[in-house]
Structure 1
Amino acid sequence: MSDPRDDLVDRIYEAAVLPELWSAVLTDLASYGGADAAVLFTADLDSSRFVTTPNFADSILAYIEEGWFARTDRTRRLLAKRHAGFVTDLDVFTPEEFAREPVFREFLIPRGFGMGAASVINVPTGDQLIFDIERVIERGPIPPDAVARLDSVRPHLARAATMSARLRMQTVRAAAQALETVGLPVAVLGRKGRALAMNQSCERLLREMIHDGPRLVLADPAADRLLVRALIELSTEANASSRSIPLPSRGDQPATVLHLLPIRRAAADLFAAAEAIAVFTPLTAKHVPGLSVLEGLFDLTAAEARVARGIAGGSTIAGLSVEFGTSPATVRSQLKAVMSKTGTARQAELVQLLAGASLPVP
């Protein structure tokens, strides 16, 4: 008969390379720790990043929507404990505090839960992950022997989380370097605009057009304000679209357009933290970009890319309607989508922008 702990450890390491398995691993972890549900989330309390067991999904969504991260210091007490193991609620709250604490009285206990244990794990991206297990209130506090079992697998959770982060970071860096081969300066941005990786072409823009630090900063103040606004939209809007930001020439660098392309989120982003790709294109190219380039840079559909290329080449909506065999209303709708995704408001701006989106001509 197999050992439950060995089976759990095997599944933990399997999830390190297949992040979609974390939900099932959390179910096993909760059971192994004498609990009934579990959630994995980032310690910066970003409500959009978590993985949970199915039976706790509704509760964690309500927790987020009702603003409980800001209404209780449950997580802050855990972080302040700085304990290299699992900590229970009764380790950070006295019995009197527990009885008074609104998150228990008003939220968790009415949902049947109310006793938890959690542990903080640091990953190479600089983020902190929290593994939190929840126990139904009628079963009482999580006992010491269950905490000991959780502590016995914590080193494996830490190594698996670190493996996931490193694998995802390698993917992020590879994506940036791949675009180096076609001459595109690229930076991959994480939460709050921090540069996770940049290729050599992008590094050459340092000092003159961009500054590195806690976040990527544009040297031009007006452009940097637009970047800050775009980053806020990325972190707060589930369907945030691409943004294009003009950068005036500085030093030896020509006028450039920064294309901020969002990376669609998934549970695996807990380990990679990548939010966007920043592509810098100088306004020096003379040719309209190819369809595949347009689709890739601006997340355009094939039809939208054809319209964008046509407009950039001087065609009219009526002319494109005849060429493509569609109605003018359809072309207008596709053009509207193109302008939304490229962050432009007028056709003239779109034409100028796409002139700078071309790849260098061999």
Structure 2
Amino acid sequence: MPETIIDCIYEAAAEPAAWENALDRLAHLVGAEGALLVNISDELMPLITTPGVRELYSDFFKQGWTADNIRTKALLSASKSKFISDVDQFSQEQMRDEPLYRDFLWPRGFGFAAGVSFDLPQEKTIAISIERKRDSGPIEEKHLDLLNSVGRDLRRSLILASQLEFKAVDNSLRALQLARLPTAALTAKGKILGCNTVFEAANPRYAISAFDQLRFLHPAAQASFEASLAAGMADGASRDEMQGAQFACPGQPGLPPAVVYLIPAARLNVGLFSPVSFFIILVPLSRSNGLTSEMIQSLMNLTRAEARLTKLLLDGEPLRDAAQALGIQLETARSQIKTVLAKTDMARQTDLIAALTSLHSLEAD
């Protein structure tokens, strides 16, 4: 077993983007086209596919082949922590009579697979499927031995990756706690999975109802919240395709209005193991502009140049004057602001300034 594959497996525990390479190497080790990793315990079924099977699995899910899939059921029921081959579960005659093989896999040149599932802590189950072309022949015992030789490493890496992802959620909540911003981690349907103490404190703007469901008390804010969740999940988007949103929470006597931000968790590399789909941040409106360019850079994940330009606009400088003050061309400034708007999911410069003026500076707080 090449040590580089094991290295890739453990690298993926710390860097989610590395899973694709690890799975691809594993598939090529046994002459397969590619692999799929999917969290089958999550209702959204977040997954990773390698290039060789990406189109295959895109069609698989879009065309509804997950329903009554005898191959998946057979592999999952018999493959706990150990790779097994589909040829050990079905004869060629059974495959010929099965629509999944006859009408879907075979016309695309595929036809053989090996699968494994791992039960992880917190009731999570991760499945991996290795897909081989039909003309390459079945995945045989010698191939299974190779795959199973790294099975223990795969499970350890998956457990570590899961723990790190949950830690990332906790760290995000703690970081926004330092800025005194009420923040909660939500499922795609608005259920609260965690929150910081600022959010947890009694707040007249929202309530936590039955089954930990977040509910805004102002009807307009609740309607905007529901619409934002629905838009974020438009057309059955996967967790890494979800869209962010922002909406107003109207004020009440003695209570200023607030801006509510719905941020996709996938931007923080959260979503494969954790059911968190969104972070929701509630920012009470205040005109205290104590934000420095460094704060803006950190809060919005901007470059130093983008943050300096944004700070000048926040201070009331027209874009042309801000560009001149920074010694850059007006077109460069316009390009930087377009990038800032894209990074912050905002459509207009006025939205950006309104959002920033709403943020309390740490000094003011």
Q: Is the shorter-chain TM-score for this pair beyond 0.5, marking a shared fold?
A: yes
Aligned to 1:38: 35
State how far apart, in whole Å, the 2-side matches of 1:192 and 1:19 are: 24
Aligned to 2:224: 223
Shift of 1:166: 0.8
Shift of 1:132: 0.8
Secondary structure of 1:270's counterpart equals coil
Q: Is the 8 A contact 2:247 2:261 kept in 1?
A: yes
State how far apart, in whole Å, the 2-side matches of 1:250 and 1:79 are: 54
Match of 1:72 among 65, 75, 81: 65
Report 1:45-84 matches (<5 A).
49-52=47-50, 57-58=51-52, 60-68=53-61, 70-73=63-66, 76-77=69-70, 78-79=72-73, 82-83=77-78, 84=80
Question: Structure 1 residues 72-81 or 161-170, which shifts more?
Answer: 72-81
Match of 2:197 among 200, 207, 217: 200
TM-score, normalized by length of structure 1? 0.73
The change in CA–CA distance for 1:93 and 1:251 in structure 2 (over 3 A counts) is farther
Shift of 1:273: 6.1
Q: 2:114 matched to 1:117?
A: yes
The change in CA–CA distance for 1:272 and 1:280 in structure 2 (over 3 A counts) is same
Q: Is the 8 A contact 2:168 2:270 kept in 1?
A: no
State how far apart, in whole Å, the 1-side matches of 2:189 and 2:148 are: 32
Shift of 1:50: 0.6
State how far apart, in whole Å, the 1-side matches of 2:107 and 2:267 are: 31
Structure 2 residue runs of 5 or longer lacking an equivalent are none
Q: Is the 8 A contact 1:304 1:338 kept in 2?
A: yes
The change in CA–CA distance for 1:105 and 1:178 in structure 2 (over 3 A counts) is same
The change in CA–CA distance for 1:69 and 1:344 in structure 2 (over 3 A counts) is closer
- Alpha-carbon displacement from aligned partner over 1:11-33 (angstroms, at most 9, x marks no partner): 75565446565456546655777
The change in CA–CA distance for 1:276 and 1:304 in structure 2 (over 3 A counts) is farther
Shift of 1:123: 3.9
Q: Is the 8 A contact 2:248 2:257 kept in 1?
A: yes
Shift of 1:357: 1.8
Q: 2:143 matched to 1:132?
A: no
Aligned to 2:165: 168
Report 1:302-317 matches (<5 A).
302-317=304-319
Q: Which amino acid aligns with 1:359?
A: S
Q: Which amino acid aligns with 1:166?
A: Q
Identity of aligned pairs, percent?
Answer: 26
Q: Is the 8 A contact 1:30 1:36 kept in 2?
A: yes
Secondary structure of 1:133's counterpart equals strand
State how far apart, in whole Å, the 2-side matches of 1:180 and 1:341 are: 22
Q: Which amino acid aligns with 1:202?
A: F
Q: Which amino acid aligns with 1:137?
A: R
Q: Is the 8 A contact 1:125 1:165 kept in 2?
A: no
Match of 1:352 among 351, 354, 359: 354
Aligned to 2:245: 243
Shift of 1:340: 5.0
How many residues are aligned here? 354
State how far apart, in whole Å, the 2-side matches of 1:139 and 1:329 are: 55
Q: Is the 8 A contact 2:110 2:134 kept in 1?
A: yes
- Alpha-carbon displacement from aligned partner over 1:273-323 (angstroms, at most 9, x marks no partner): 665543322113522522233233334444443343333322223432432
Shift of 1:218: 4.3
- Alpha-carbon displacement from aligned partner over 1:84-104 (angstroms, at most 9, x marks no partner): 354543566675552144553
Shift of 1:116: 0.9
Secondary structure of 2:163's counterpart equals helix
Shift of 1:183: 1.7
Structure 1 residue runs of 5 or longer lacking an equivalent are none
Report 1:103-114 matches (<5 A).
103-105=100-102, 108-109=105-106, 112-114=109-111
Shift of 1:115: 0.9
- Alpha-carbon displacement from aligned partner over 1:50-75 (angstroms, at most 9, x marks no partner): 153xxxx23x2212443555342378
Aligned to 2:261: 259
State how far apart, in whole Å, the 2-side matches of 1:344 and 1:286 are: 21
